[in-house]
Structures are given as C-alpha cells and as structure tokens.
Amino acid sequence: MGNSNSSRFPAQDRFEGGAQYIGGRFVPGTSGRKQDVVDPATGDVVYAYELAGAPDVDAAVAAAKDAFPAWAAATPAERSDALHRFAAVLADRAEEFAQAESLQCGKPIKLSREFDVPGTVDNTAFFAGAARHLQGQSAGEYSGDHTSYVRREAIGVVGSIAPWNYPLQMAAWKVLPAIAAGNTIVLKPAEITPLTSLLFAEAATAAGIPDGVVNIVSGAGRDAGEHLVGHPDVVMTSFTGSTAVGKRVAEIATATVKRTHLELGGKAPFVVFDDADLEAAVHGAVAASLINSGQDCTAATRAYVQRPLYDAFVAGVADLMATVRVGDPFDPATDMGPLISHVHRDRVAGFVERARSYARIVTGGEAPKNQGAFYLPTLVADAPQHSEVVQSEIFGPVLAVLPFDSDDEGIRLANDTPYGLAASAWSRDVYRAGRATREIKAGCVWVNDHIPIISEMPHGGYKASGYGKDMSAYSFEEYTQVKHVMYDNTAVAAKDWHRTIFGDR
Ligand code: NAD
C-alpha cells in the first residue's frame, strides 16, 4: 500500500462499512485481498479497501434476486417516481460526485462538472420518463380467431461490468435502463475506480429505491467478474470494456445461456473532405482526441484528411494541441489531466515510441517529469494504414493523421479496422457527408462534430466494438424480454386447426 491521502476524499466516511454495496448497506469484501484507489495525478493512495470475492458476489446476487419480484411488480409510475427522486438526489450531490470522479480518474474537474455528472443526472431523468413508455407491438386479431399482444417483461437479475474511464456514467448506463424496466442489478465497477459507483448506489437508496435493487461488488475482473458472469441466478450480462475481455465474458455467458450486451473498444475515424470548414475540423479533432485524455471509446483516433487540406490540418492541430493546459485535475483551468495510471501511461508511450521508426511525431510524444501519470497531447503523421498506431486502440491522447485522395479511399480507410463504434465526417456538401453516414460501419456517425452524446439516442458498436445499445429507448430491448400472449376468441372446443391433428372429423 502507498501513502494514504484520504483527506482529499471527503465522501469517504460514507463507506465506513466497506466498499461493497449489498442489499442497501455498505459491507466489507471478504476476498482477503486489498486494493488501493490511487489519484493518478499524484500517485497518492486516496482510499484502500478489501476486494469482493465469490461469496460477496453470491450475497449481492441473492439480494438482487430477493428484491426482484416486488420491483418488477411495481407500476411503471412507481419506478418512474423513484427514478425522478434519484435524479434529484444526484443533482443535489453533484459536486461530491464530481470531486470523487476527478480524484479517482484524474479527470479535469471541469469535465466531471460539465459532462460526467450532468450527463448522469440527465440519463436518470430520461429513464424516469422512459420507464412509463415501454413500447410494444399493438394488440390485434392476427389469426382472426385469437387476440394477440406483446408483453415486454423484466428479465431478472442483471450482472454488469464497467470500465474505469467514465466510472459514473458507465454505472448509470448499465443500472438505469435495467432498473427502469423492472430488473435488479449487481454491478462490478473497475476495481481501481469504485468510488462513484458506490456513491451512485447509495444515492439510489437515499432516493427510496428499495434495498437490493442496485448492488455493487468492487472486485477484480478474473474472480469477482467471472463469478458474476457465470452465476446461475444472473440472467443477463451487460459488459463495457475492452474487446479482449468482452470475448471472455461472452464465452462464460454462453455456458449458462445468458443474454449478453457488449460495449467494447473503438478506434474512431475522423474523415475530413476537402470542402470542410478547416478551422472547425481542427478544433473538432483536438477536442475529440483529447477528451478524458483520449481514454474514451469514441475518441477521434484516426484523422483522414483529403490531400488539399492535409498540411494545413496537421499544422493547425499541432498548434492547437500545444495550447492545451495539462496539469492538476482540480485546477478549473486544466484542460487535460493524467492518464488513469503509470502502467497505462507507459503503454500509451510505448505505441508512440514504436511509431517513431515509421511515422512523424509532429507534437507531444513525451511524459512531463512529475509524479503523475501524465502524457502530452500527441500528433502522429504519415503512419501507414496497417501500422499499430492506426489499427490498435491506444486509449490515450494520441491522434494519428493520414492523407487520402478520393472520397472512395477516405471511406474505405475509415472502415479498415476491426472496430466500429463511432466516426465523424467533415464536409459542407450534404451529399458527401450523407454518403459517409451511410457507408461508414459504426454505431454512431457524426457530421461536422465528434463526441456529443444524448440520453435519447442509442450508443453501441458495430463489428468488434460489440453489440447492444446503451441509453435511449433502444436499451429497453436489451433489458426486457418480449412475450407473446394469445387468447382464443371462439370459445369452441373443436377448433378449425385441430383438423390437421385429428383428421377432418
Ligand atoms: P477492461 O476490459 O480491462 O476491463 C473492463 C472491466 O472488466 C473491469 O471492470 C475489469 O475488472 C473487468 N474484467 C477484466 N477481466 C475480466 C474477466 N476475465 N472477466 C470479467 N470481467 C473482467 O477495460 P478497461 O481497461 O477497464 O476499459 C477500457 C476499455 O473499455 C477500452 O477498450 C474502451 O474502448 C472500452 N470502453 C467501451 C465503451 C463502449 O461504450 N463501447 C465505453 C467505455 C469504455
């Protein structure tokens, strides 16, 4: 364990019972293994706790299973009211959430205050409304002799696993549609960033959401995570994280025939056609590649720029990147904080070091000499399309930029990675942009912007970026099951269709 600097985590006294939230109470983990939560800007340990083991996962699943019948039977209006109260509690505690999120992730406080926390409050309010609008096919007499209708039902206990990059928003994206639809949930946050998921679950209780509806197990992926995915009482697994771990999760879930929902990695292209507003594209590229220090699954990572604009785009991005203020996440003026850890920073730096042999590092490419896991905004030009800097998810503040000639080539290069989470097209020509939106294989394509998300619209991948949708009414399709109910309307014992079984008596 390192130096404990718990004074910087004012919400800590809420976790006196431990860092597992089971059945509406904080309790300690029982794995016997300790975990530090480290402020990546300083290297200080800000909280230390005992990880969840399999018995803690079992207890959380049991609590969720007990809570399910009553929660599923609550009326949509009751669940909606509870979610409205939840949104209000979150809004009241917004600053506490922002502080905790910035502390455990190193996120600039302005990003936590203006994006992560308000986004979560808005998502909660959205699902409060959506809870009363579960859509289904209309009822009707499709056979002539029966009335058919569709029930959209909760499925039971959901087991969810979230990553460290947006811990609060990822918890919200998993928990809210699941509980709005009447399910109960056990969420495993990334073990290095459990703080805001725990606060989120406790806020749900404070809002009057019944004990056991939202449970958190703060445990490691290999044991608590795999145990949760394989648990026989968990009927669905919803996972956000890397493609490699997503494949493992799918494998385990298959063995128990679970529904899976996988939100995986990304390598978003940013395609600039030669009629684009260059200034807008330059601003967009810097913002979209550096948000959250580039640790964003939809971040712009590969800019393809049509030849006539290429040199000016490279120069413009490099100049603007050099103005980005990298430093203390708690300084409201800071634009970019550290990466999540020194290990991850070194991994990111490794990609850039290897790229020096085949590409041009236009700006950045170094780590400031201080205690934190910082890395400077980095622009890598002229890397070959099949080099790792263009193909692999780096998950850091590194933008690769490549030229293209024809529109066909730009779109082909944009599609030429295994991923398909998000993309953007930059053009003033509605037909060119329209073609890009149709032909780029990604779950979201922006036109003349890159990053904004909204509660009403779905988020989710194509290809190796996974399947299933977060946010929006579409997520109810993930967290509900559809039942066909069919009533006989004839009241006749010998029905017409019986002739196919009994002959024509
Ligand atoms: P990760 O895959 O290493 O870990 C994600 C979660 O899985 C963590 O909670 C971890 O403890 C758990 N885990 C690890 N091994 C496991 C196992 N064997 N069984 C069960 N659970 C296990 O990802 P990360 O490094 O935390 O996050 C970064 C990744 O998440 C990136 O690839 C990023 O693109 C992706 N991401 C995707 C989206 C999206 O919406 N598509 C959103 C955010 C992040």
Distance 354 CA to ligand 1 centre (A): 25
What CATH number corresponds to the domain at position 91?
3.40.605.10
Residue 502 is assigned to a structural domain of this protein: no
> Model confidence over 257-302: pLDDT tens digits?
999 999 999 999 999 999 999 999 999 999 999 999 999 999 999 9
Same domain? For 322 and 257 the reply is: no
CB-side neighbour CA atoms (13 Å) of 84 = 10
In a domain, 402, yes or no: yes
Is the Cβ–Cβ distance between 68 and 157 less than 8 Å? yes
**Average pLDDT for 160-164:** 98
Nearest CA, atom 32, ligand 1: 242
* CA 410 remoteness from chain centre: 28
459 lies in a domain?
A: no
Query: Based on the domain organization, do 196 and 126 belong to the same domain?
Result: yes
* 178 & 41 share domain: yes
**Candidate of 242, 263, 398, 478 to mutate for ligand 1, largest count of ligand atoms within 8 Å of Cβ:** 242
- Do 67 and 215 sit in the same domain of this protein? yes
**Structure confidence by residue, pLDDT tens digits, 301-341:** 999 999 999 999 999 999 999 999 999 999 999 999 999 99
CA dihedral 95, 101, 106, 111 (to 10 degrees): -60
- Are residues 362 and 475 located together in one domain of the fold? no
Q: Do 36 and 49 reside in the same domain of the chain?
A: yes
Count other C-beta atoms under 10 Å from residue 170's C-beta. 28
**Could you tell me if residue 379 is inside a domain?**
yes
> How much of the chain, in percent, has pLDDT values that exceed 70?
98
81, 229: one domain: yes
- Which residues lie across from 259 on neighbouring strands? 236
Contact 57, 227 (CB under 8 A): yes
Ligand 1 center to residue 154 CA distance, Å?
A: 26
Say if residue 96's pLDDT is above 60: yes
User: Any residues with Cβ below 6 Å from ligand 1, and which?
Assistant: 161-165, 188, 190-191, 221-222, 225-226, 229, 240-242, 245, 248-249, 263-266, 297, 393, 395, 421, 461, 465-466
Indicate whether 424 belongs to any domain: yes
The pLDDT value given to residue 7: 53
pTM: 0.96
List pLDDT tens digits, range 468-495. Answer: 999 999 998 899 999 999 999 999 999 9
276 and 423 belong to one structural domain: yes
Give the model's confidence band at 138: pLDDT under 50 very low, under 70 low, under 90 confident, else very high.
confident
pLDDT band at 2 (very low <50, low <70, confident <90, very high): very low
- 84 shares a domain with 126: yes
* Residues 136/151, Cβ–Cβ less than 8 Å: yes
Is residue 263 flagged as an active site residue?
yes
Q: Which atom of ligand 1 is nearest to the CA of 219?
A: 11
Q: Check pLDDT > 90 for residue 375.
A: yes
Spacing, Cα 478 to ligand 1 middle (Å): 19
First to last CA, the chain: 82
The domain spanning residue 273 has which CATH number? 3.40.309.10
88 within some domain: yes
Q: How far is the CA of 297 from the centre of ligand 1 (A)?
A: 10
**Residue whose CA lies nearest to ligand 1 atom number 35:** 241
In a domain, 455, yes or no: no
Atom of ligand 1 nearest to the CA of 242: 32
Kindly state the tokens that stand for 478. Answer: 């993930």
Considering the domain architecture, whether residues 86 and 130 belong to the same structural domain is answered as yes
Query: What are the pLDDT digits (tens) for 205-246?
Result: 999 999 999 999 999 999 999 999 999 999 999 999 999 999
Contact 459, 452 (CB under 8 A): no
Q: Which of 245, 251, 252, 393 has the most ligand 1 atoms within 8 A of CB, as the residue to mutate?
A: 245
Task: Label residue 113 by pLDDT band (50, 70, 90).
Answer: very high
Q: Which of 192, 226, 239, 240 to mutate for ligand 1's pocket (most ligand atoms within 8 Å of CB)?
A: 240
The rounded Å distance from CA 173 to ligand 1 centre is: 14
> DSSP string of 59-83?
HHHHHHHHHHHHHHHS-HHHHHHHH
Q: What's the total number of domains in the chain?
A: 2
Catalytic option among 202, 226, 263, 478: 263
Looking at this protein, which amino acid is placed at residue 22? Answer: I
16 CA to middle of ligand 1, Å? Answer: 28
Residue 410 to residue 423: CA distance in whole angstroms: 12
Based on the fold, state whether residues 416 and 474 are members of the same structural domain: no
Q: What domain range is 209 assigned to? A: 18-264+465-483
Between the alpha carbon of residue 493 and those of residues 174, 239, 489, 498, the distances in Å are 48, 49, 11, 10
Answer yes or no: is 500 within a domain.
no
Residue nearest atom 28 of ligand 1, based on CA coordinates: 241
* Whether residues 44 and 150 fall in one domain: yes
